[in-house]
Amino acid sequence: MYESDIKDLLTALKEGKISVEDALGKLKHLPFEDLDYAKLDHHRAIRSGYPEVIYCQGKTDEHLTGIFKKLLENDNNILATKATPEIYKLLKGLSHNINYHELARIIVVRKKEIQKSRHKILILTAGTSDIPVAEEAAVTSEELGNTVVRLYDVGVAGIHRLLSHKKELDDCSVIIAIAGMEGALASVVGGIVDKPVIAVPTSVGYGASFGGITALLAMLNSCANGVGVVNIDNGFGAGYLASSIIRQIELVVS
């Protein structure tokens, strides 16, 4: 439940459009609902601006189904990350609104229309192998209400590919730079733009990339200013952080 939902509920109660009992029924599970194996944080959208997101990996089928059924009782859109095709098959019968983004490994249930942001998030990848992580960031950003521009396979092995897109670099408000191997893309981008760059190291690379640790350390040690780093393969974290930045920009501008 968002802050705007609480305001609408209280307004409806004040105007006599709903009863006290109905209003109490909608509020009784705030701030969380205890399912024993999970405590659903219905209050999170009020505190942080976005509803709780389900991390699917490691959960049992029974727990995932139970969590989804409870969240479907509310009016919020649902976002579930690290969802395999098998998990989608398990859950898809619970609602006709369930959609699966296979490349991003994200399940979405959209109950409300999303008003897209005026400011843009630009998502870059160094190579094609980084696209699954990029799609996780992109779908997350879009479902949290953002306008997203994708620009893939523009790594430093052919840096002219990146430099030919100066307009896209200039037009956005936040950049997510995703790279494996030695992770150089984030530093290069950070050195040529005047906006925050969220760097995402990926586990793409040969033996000495150590599953993304080489890219992670390179990004953490970037000499370019304005570069922040999230965890290896954490496209969701990058998309969420970028969305929070855009949200603050638009609150100030409005």
pLDDT tens-digit profile of 208-251? 999 999 999 999 999 999 999 999 999 999 999 999 999 999 88
Same domain? 139 vs 169: yes
pLDDT given at position 41 = 67
8 Å CB contact between 16 and 4: no
Is 166 inside any structural domain? yes
Same domain? 149 vs 249: yes
pLDDT given at position 28 = 59
Is 115 inside any structural domain? no
Is 223 inside any structural domain? yes
Structure tokens, 57: 């990996």
Closest by Cα among 252, 253, 239 to 81? 239
Same domain? 188 vs 90: no
Which residues does residue 80 pair with via DSSP β-bridges, in sequence order? 54, 107
Is 189 inside any structural domain? yes
pLDDT given at position 42 = 65
Please list the ranges in the chain whose pLDDT falls under 70: 1-6, 24-36, 40-46, 254
pLDDT given at position 22 = 76
Rg (CA), the chain: 20
pLDDT given at position 31 = 67
